């Protein structure tokens, strides 16, 4: 099957378990609820620990259920290898820490998830990492922000929370011209786009969102495109292209080849800091993957109808969605998402925080919670919740105001979604 050109809908169901489980003949992926594995003999154990033999060592590093999940997401993204971890935040953190060291610099978009923004602007700075936040729609500004010590350009396919579209091809070209990695968070657009096909070197996901789809399990995934030549930039990327003292001088770019990026995270960062996904959560997320293409279709269909409804409502000041012709990202949206996308977006209610809170509090089908990309429709007030740790200046930088409401459109019947929005508007 690996040699066949299969569609994403088929890959989402079959990759990683093309045949029934060899131990039990089970068709479903088993939950391998174990922490440790027996070695065949002492030489086998030594080879496993020395990275000479690929296979299970300890549950903090690998697990067979987890492995199927990793292979499946890597296939959906068109990468060479994947690594599942405990959360989306862990995936982002590990992807950055894998290459960023004291004295290094990152250029990040001004419309990324608030947690990632805080990680870059506050947490990583305590480790000596410098940063520049810039509007990724301004390519000249991105180029101007790059320094000799810039190792990473970091953005999201759809910006959070206003659904701005990232110019993947142009940003990848800028990054590679300066021998920097282009890391893309594709949490909001699985199935809809494969950033690797547009130049991304690494893709990260919060699997808690669309991939799981039901708000039931935390998880994150890192996918390695396997295309960046670390050896050609050894001085800039010593963690991957120079001897690692914790592995007796092994060079990950030599030992793991195209999969060097995720292999080092697994072998070093996951080993040492332990943000491991549980086998059970990996299994639950696998169930989500199998229905992911179907769910995405319904999410997009419903979202576009809600955008149209809100755009015409007299109590709405503005809708931030790239499907709207006046949106700054509309042309990119048409290029990258010809079949539509963007079921997580914001709108500005007329008034301010008081009106926004009143509207949200009167919703009945929509749930008020901090997750997104659930099968259920969700709503939240970003300025006082998900992005509340940001200063007024940082909120303005991320285009969030007191009147901003974020919606995550679920897969309920569209008539019921619209009716719920209608009744909430009627009460403010």
What CATH number does residue 404 fall under?
3.90.1150.10
Domain count, the chain: 2
303 and 264 assigned to the same domain: no
213 and 274 in a single domain? The answer is yes
Strands 105-109 and 81-85: what pairing?
A: unpaired
Residues 45 and 193 in one domain: yes
pLDDT tens-place string over residues 92-101: 999 999 999 9
Q: Which of the listed residues 242, 259, 280 is the one where a domain comes to its end? A: 280
Kindly report the CATH number assigned to the domain that includes residue 146. Answer: 3.40.640.10
Give the start-end residues of each E strand in 190-239.
Answer: 202-206, 220-224
Please tell me whether residues 298 and 273 are part of one structural domain. no
Q: What is the mean pLDDT of residues 53-74?
A: 93
Question: Residue 74: CB partners within 8 Å, gap ≥ 6?
Answer: 80, 81, 82, 223, 224
Same domain (yes/no): 183, 238: yes
Compute the C-alpha angle 314/316/322, nearest 5°. Answer: 125
Pairing mode of beta strands 367-368, 378-380: parallel
Sort 95 into a burial class: Cβ within 10 Å, 0-12 / 13-18 / 19+. buried
pLDDT tens digits, one per residue of 260-299: 999 999 999 999 999 999 999 999 999 999 999 999 999 9
Structural domain contains residue 368: yes
CA-nearest of 3, 73, 50, 9 to 293 is 9
Assess whether 107 and 162 both reside in one domain.
Answer: yes
145 part of a folded domain: yes
Could you tell me the pTM of the whole model? Answer: 0.94
**Which range marks the domain in which residue 371 is found?**
293-426
Cis peptide leading into residue 281 (ω within 30°): no
Of the candidates 255, 280, 305, which is a domain's last residue?
280
Q: Is the pLDDT of residue 159 over 60?
A: yes
Residues 29 and 139 in one domain: yes
- 286 within domain boundaries: no
Position 3 in a domain: no
Total Cβ atoms within 10 A of residue 275: 17
Specify whether 351 is located in the same domain as 264: no
The DSSP element (H or E) to which 414 belongs, if any, is: helix 414-426
Whether residues 385 and 335 share a domain: the answer is yes
């Amino acid at each position: 099957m690996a040699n066949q050109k299969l569609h994403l809908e088929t890959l989402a169901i079959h990759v990683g378990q093309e045949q029934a489980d060899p131990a039990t003949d089970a068709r479903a992926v088993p939950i391998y609820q174990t922490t440790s594995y027996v070695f065949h003999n002492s030489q086998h154990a030594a080879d496993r620990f020395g990275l000479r033999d690929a296979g299970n060592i300890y549950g903090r590093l690998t697990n067979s259920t987890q492995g199927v999940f990793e292979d499946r997401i890597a296939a959906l993204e068109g990468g060479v290898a994947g690594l599942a971890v405990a959360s989306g935040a862990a995936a982002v953190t590990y992807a950055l820490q894998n290459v960023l060291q004291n004295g290094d610099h990152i250029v990040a978009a001004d419309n990324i998830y608030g947690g990632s923004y805080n990680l870059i602007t506050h947490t990583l700075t305590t480790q000596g990492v410098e940063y520049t936040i810039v509007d990724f729609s301004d390519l000249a500004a991105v180029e101007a922000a790059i320094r000799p010590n810039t190792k990473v350009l970091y953005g999201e396919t759809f910006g959070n929370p206003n659904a701005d579209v990232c110019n993947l091809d142009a940003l990848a070209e800028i990054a590679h011209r300066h021998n920097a990695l282009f890391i893309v968070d594709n949490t909001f657009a699985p199935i809809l786009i494969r950033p690797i096909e547009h130049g991304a070197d690494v893709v990260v996901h919060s699997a808690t969102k669309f991939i799981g789809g039901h708000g039931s399990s935390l998880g994150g995934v890192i996918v390695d495109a396997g295309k960046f030549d670390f050896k050609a930039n050894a001085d800039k990327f010593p963690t991957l292209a120079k001897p690692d003292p914790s592995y007796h001088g092994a060079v990950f770019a030599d030992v793991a080849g195209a999969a060097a990026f995720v292999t080092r995270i697994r072998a070093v960062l996951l080993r040492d800091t332990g943000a491991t996904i549980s086998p059970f959560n990996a299994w639950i997320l696998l169930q989500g993957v199998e229905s992911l293409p179907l769910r995405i279709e319904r999410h997009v269909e419903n979202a576009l109808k809600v955008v149209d409804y809100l755009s015409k409502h007299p109590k709405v000041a503005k809708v931030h969605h790239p499907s709207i012709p006046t949106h700054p990202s509309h042309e990119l949206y048409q290029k990258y998402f010809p079949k539509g996308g963007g079921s997580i977006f914001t709108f500005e209610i007329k008034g301010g925080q008081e009106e926004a809170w009143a509207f949200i509090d009167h919703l009945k089908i929509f749930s008020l919670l901090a997750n997104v990309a659930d099968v259920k429709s969700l709503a939240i007030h970003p300025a006082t919740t998900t992005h509340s740790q940001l200063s007024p200046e940082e909120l303005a930088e991320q285009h969030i105001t007191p009147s901003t409401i974020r919606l995550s459109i679920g897969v309920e019947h569209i008539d019921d979604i619209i009716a719920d929005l209608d009744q909430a508007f009627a009460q403010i």
